[in-house]
């Protein structure tokens, strides 16, 4: 058994707050086909980043096996119990929120966003975490055919 984290991050500035930029930005998918290169009992991260001006051409990073420190850097917290996985998420305010308990061979989705100051404008990001727990050989099929077991939305209204 393993954990596959698909992280989809969208980055933009005030230029994409209205049309046509917002139309393209809103078309960024919240779930993509997963890549299962690592098929071991580990935690793997598949990261896809969409940047302003290239919302239709994401940059993809190699699927990596990550350790506990790197899991925490993603603001995630995992605790195994029997045949399930308890998932926690650290908000931008460093508050740990309980996402829920994910059963074996199922997946969940966590959404978050943020506005931050830049030198001459505001920057924004939205991050979607699609997390599969179970037999990584079955991850692709389960995520394509089954609805997520848990969906948590920690997004705030960005002004």
φ/ψ region of 10 (left if φ > 0, alpha if ψ in -120 to 50, else beta) reads: beta
Pick from 136, 133, 107, 106: nearest CA to 37 = 136
Pick from 159, 110, 102, 111: nearest CA to 134 = 102
DSSP state at residue 119 = S
- pLDDT computed for residue 94 by the predictor: 86
- pLDDT computed for residue 159 by the predictor: 59
- pLDDT computed for residue 15 by the predictor: 85
**In the chain, where the domains are located:** 2-74+104-153
User: Which residue shows structure tokens 């199922």?
Assistant: 106
Query: 10-residue block means of pLDDT along the chain (159 residues)?
Result: 93 85 88 74 92 89 91 95 92 89 96 91 94 90 92 84
H helical segments located in the chain: 21-26, 68-73, 139-145
Nearest-angstrom CA–CA distance, 104 and 146 = 13
| SS3 category, 31 | coil
Cβ partners under 8 Å of residue 54, min gap 6: none
């Amino acid at each position: 058994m393993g954990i596959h984290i698909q992280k989809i991050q969208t980055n933009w500035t005030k230029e994409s707050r209205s049309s046509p930029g917002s139309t393209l930005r809103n078309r960024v998918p919240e779930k993509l086909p997963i890549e299962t290169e690592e098929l071991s009992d580990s935690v793997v991260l598949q990261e896809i980043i969409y940047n302003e001006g290239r919302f239709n051409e994401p940059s993809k990073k190699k699927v990596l096996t990550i350790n506990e420190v790197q899991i925490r850097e993603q603001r995630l917290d995992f605790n195994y119990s029997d045949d399930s996985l308890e998932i926690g998420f650290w908000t931008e305010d460093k508050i740990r929120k309980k996402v829920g308990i994910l059963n074996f061979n199922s997946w969940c989705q966590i959404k978050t966003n943020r506005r931050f100051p830049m030198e001459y404008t505001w920057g924004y990001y939205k991050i979607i975490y699609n997390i599969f727990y179970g037999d990584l050989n079955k991850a692709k099929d389960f995520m394509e055919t089954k609805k997520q077991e848990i969906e948590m939305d920690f997004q705030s209204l960005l002004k």
